[in-house]
Each structure stands twice: as structure tokens, then as C-alpha cells.
Chain A
Amino acid sequence: EAGVAQSPRYKIIEKRQSVAFWCNPISGHATLYWYQQILGQGPKLLIQFQNNGVVDDSQLPKDRFSAERLKGVDSTLKIQPAKLEDSAVYLCASSSMGTLQEQYFGPGTRLTVT
């Protein structure tokens, strides 16, 4: 079974530029998550989709971050404009629908904002 795919793996941009990350979840997984992991910290949930709909985006900085999930499968996370404090690893995870379903994580995209 293929795992969660993410691209790019690494990205370096200057502050005030925009960037987009892509995630392809495990086939059949209805729920998709985006996490932000700042160096030295645990991952923090940014947004959670169930099929096409957003079920939790309470910690997404909506003035600069946006995310969508096309047709309930792939997802993109965008930052515009980027700030220095956005430097982090962005992790995508997916799971079957329901509580306590195991979340499967992708390898992440390491973003450096200079």
C-alpha cells in the first residue's frame, strides 16, 4: 500500500513570497490533516478535512494560510505572503473516517523562509 505522498520535500523562499505544498493521501482515506512542526516542537494541527469539507481550522492563520482539498483526494496548502516564523516542516497525514483511526504521516516538506 502506498503511503502519504508530499511534494516538494524542501523549499527555500524569501519572506513575502508565496509557496504551495501538495499532498496525496492514502487511497480511500476520507480524512486529511495538515500539521506544522517548528524546529524543537511537536506537530501542531493546522487544518483537518473530512472528504471535501473543513472540520477544524481553528489554528490556521487565515490571513496568510489557505488550504483546499480537490474532489476529496489531493490537497494543497498555500502560504501567501510568507514570514520568517513560517519556517517549519509541514506534515500531511490521512486516516479513515472516525475517531481514534490511526493517522498515517507523509515525510513532510521542509520550508525555509529567509
Chain B
Amino acid sequence: AQSVTQLDSHVSVSEGTPVLLRCNYSSSYSPSLFWYVQHPNKGLQLLLKYTSAATLVKGINGFEAEFKKSETSFHLTKPSAHMSDAAEYFCVVKGEPGGYNKLIFGAGTRLAVHP
């Protein structure tokens, strides 16, 4: 079965410093992986997705993630945090290949950005 584990429930950084949100996945297949962001009182928004093309994936707002099969990881990074990045971030794996578009979410990492 597909699953993801987000290794940190809370991450706190200062504005202008790098962001690292960690995610490990478990999959019986070659996975499709995503990062979603959830701002307070707003809907979930797709940041980026990996679908077996380039292992370094660039997303919106300066975020990127690297797929590492040997480490079963898909960590999210950003070189310089902005106050507006404060939100909840979810690592997501697609259910079994083919079939329907089922997403399996991790528990989330809350990112706090301090001035």
C-alpha cells in the first residue's frame, strides 16, 4: 500500500533562511508524489508534483522538491523563506498506478516563519 510520512509536525524558520520539510514515502510501485499547501481558511493548493520525469521538480513560489529513490524521500525546499510561506504543508502520494486519481495525504507539517 502507498503511504507517506512527514518527519516533522512543526518547523520554525526565520525570514530569509532556507526551508526544509521532510517526507518519506512507501510504495510498491513507482510513485507519483505531490506537495500541497494549506493556508488558514483557504483551500489546499498544489505546489508541485513528481511523475517519474526529472527528479528535481520546481513548483510555485520558489519551492522545489527532489525525488530520491534510494532514500525513498521527497523533501520540499526553498532557499529563502518569506512570511507568506507560513502555512500547513502536505506530502501526498497517489494511490495505485492507473485506476482512479486517489490521493493519500501525510499528516502535515506546520511551517512558522519569524521576522
Contact = CB atoms under 8 A, between A and B. Distances in A.
Contacts of B29: none
A13 B47 CA distance: 35
B42 A107 contact: yes
Given A56-B100, A99-B97, A105-B45, 10 more contacts: A4-B43, A31-B100, A42-B106, A45-B102, A48-B101, A48-B102, A91-B43, A100-B94, A103-B46, A107-B42
Specify which of A3, A103, A104 lies most central, judged by the most chain B CB atoms within 10 Å of its CB.
Answer: A103
Contacts of A43: 44, 90, 103, 105
Contact of B107 (A4, A41, A48): A41
Of all A-B residue pairs in the complex, the 8 with the closest CB atoms, nearest first, are A42-B105, A105-B43, A105-B44, A43-B105, A107-B43, A55-B100, A42-B90, A42-B107
A101 B34 CA distance: 12
A106 B45 CA distance: 10
Interface residues of B, number: 24
Interface of A: 3-4, 31, 40-45, 48, 50, 55-56, 91, 93, 95, 98-108
Interface of B: 32, 41-46, 49, 51, 90, 92, 94, 97-108
B11 to A, nearest CB: 15
Contacts of B49: 100, 102
Contact of A40 (B104, B105, B107): B107
B88 to A, nearest CB: 9
A98 B101 contact: yes
Nearest to A31: B101
B101 A44 contact: no
Nearest to A50: B100
A99 B100 contact: yes
11 contacts: A42-B105, A43-B44, A43-B105, A45-B103, A48-B100, A91-B43, A99-B98, A102-B46, A103-B46, A104-B43, A106-B43
